[in-house]
Each structure stands twice: as C-alpha cells, then as structure tokens.
C-alpha cells in the first residue's frame, strides 16, 4: 500500500476562494481523521469518520469548513470561502479499531495551505 | 483541546547523548502513542503503549507509562543527528475513538 495520499501538497489561493483538499486512506482502515497544524495551536483534530460516516465534527472551526467521505477510499475537506487565518498544514490520517482499541495512525504528507 | 502536554518544548543535545521527553495527560486512557515529525513532513508512528503496560522498547527507543501520575516518557539512547525532529505524544482516551496530540518537543541533535 502506498500509504495515506493527500493532494495537493501545496495550495496557494486568494481570500474568498473555495479550497478542496483530498485524501485517500489506507485500504482496510475504517477510521479517517482530518487534522490542522499551526505553530500557535499545534495539531487540532477537525473531524473524524468511521466507515465513511462523520462521527465528531466538533473541531471544525466554522461553517465555512465541511468534510465528506463518499466512499471508503476518498475524503475531502472543503473551505468556502477561505480566509488568511485558514493558512496551515492540513493532515489526513487513517487507522483501524482492533479488539484492543484504536491502533496507530498513518498520516499523509499534508497539504500546506496559504490563503493570501 | 490538547490532552497531552510534552516537556520540554525544545531540547538540544550532542550526538551520542540520550534524549528524554516527557508527556503528561489529563484523563484515563486506552493507550498512548509517540510520533515523530521531520520538518515539512507528516507524522510517523514510533511506539504504542497500552494502559496496562509500564514499559516498552523499540530499537533505541524506550517508553514508560505511569497511569497513576498520568505521565509518559520517551527515551532515545545514543542519539544521532538524524534523530533531529519534533516528537509528539498522543492519547486515545478510554472508550474513545480519536487521537489527541500534545504540542510536541523539538529535538535538535548536534553532530
């Protein structure tokens, strides 16, 4: 397996534009997480899915953020409209739940978003 | 919200020395995990320790867990310049299905 794949790796956009980040989790993993990383706030969990169903989106900062997982191999995180304070590195991670609990997470390489 | 808090925030050592990083957390856990992040890259899982375990080893890494003090430590022995990275602890709460990360320790190993 190629691991968790995120695209694009870098995105520069103007304030007010729509941004879509994409993630392909590892096959067989039933949990998918979206994180945001900034210097000030560290790694923040935005939302996570179990078997393609959103379970907890309490970390999504505003209604401008939305996430979907239409199938087991694809998820998107959308920001509309984008603002400069959304600039951060966005990570997708996947793992599975064993009979002993949640296992280690596998992270993608991240998407570095810059909103100007 | 942050569950784990690493200490120190930054650590600079000479190659060959041991590096110790600490993590404290607030609520009951199912397991605690340590991750490494090289600059500009994604996080890589290092080691997972369950709540009923006290110590775990993996190569030059040694992790301890003290659930009574709600703390864990990561020891890297005989450090190398290639160990330079940020190290994060993450907890899975009891009955939880998510990983919550601390802010990390930035380790610099000087050749």
pLDDT 10s digits, B57-99? 999 999 999 999 999 999 999 999 999 999 999 998 887 788 8
Distances (CA, A) of B91 to B13, B40, B42, B50: 27, 23, 18, 10
pLDDT 10s digits, B12-70? 999 999 999 999 999 899 999 999 999 888 999 999 999 999 999 999 999 999 999 99
B82 touching A, CB under 8 A?
no
pLDDT 10s digits, A1-25? 679 999 999 999 999 999 999 999 9
Which among B35, B50, B100 is the nearest to A45, CB-wise? B100
**Count of CA atoms in the C-beta half-sphere (13 A) of B83:** 28
Q: What is the pLDDT of residue B68?
A: 95
Which among A31, A55, A107 is the nearest to B42, CB-wise? A107
Residue B43 · residue B35 · CB < 8 Å:
yes
Q: What is the pLDDT of residue A72?
A: 95
Q: What is the pLDDT of residue B2?
A: 47
Contact between A48 and B98 using a beta-carbon 8 Å cutoff: yes
pLDDT 10s digits, A19-38? 999 999 999 999 999 999 99
């Amino acid at each position: 397996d190629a691991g968790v794949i995120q695209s694009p790796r870098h995105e520069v956009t103007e304030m007010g534009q729509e941004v879509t980040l994409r993630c392909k989790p590892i096959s067989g993993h039933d949990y998918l997480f979206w994180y945001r990383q900034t210097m000030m706030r560290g790694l923040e969990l935005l939302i996570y899915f179990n078997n393609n169903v959103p379970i907890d989106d309490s970390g999504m900062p505003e209604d401008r953020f939305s996430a979907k997982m239409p199938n087991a191999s694809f998820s998107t995180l959308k920001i509309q409209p984008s603002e400069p304070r959304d600039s951060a590195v966005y990570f997708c991670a996947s793992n599975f739940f064993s009979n002993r609990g949640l296992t280690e997470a596998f992270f993608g390489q991240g998407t570095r978003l810059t909103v100007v | 919200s942050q569950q784990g808090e690493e200490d120190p925030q930054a650590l600079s050592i000479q190659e060959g020395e041991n590096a110790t990083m600490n993590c404290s957390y607030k609520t009951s856990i199912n397991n605690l995990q340590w991750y490494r992040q090289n600059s500009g890259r994604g996080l890589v899982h290092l080691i997972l320790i369950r709540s009923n375990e006290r110590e775990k080893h993996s190569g030059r890494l040694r992790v301890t867990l003290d659930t009574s003090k709600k703390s864990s430590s990561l020891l890297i022995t005989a450090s190398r310049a290639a160990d330079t990275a940020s190290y994060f602890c993450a907890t899975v709460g009891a009955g939880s299905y998510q990983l919550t990360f601390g802010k990390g320790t930035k380790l610099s190993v000087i050749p």
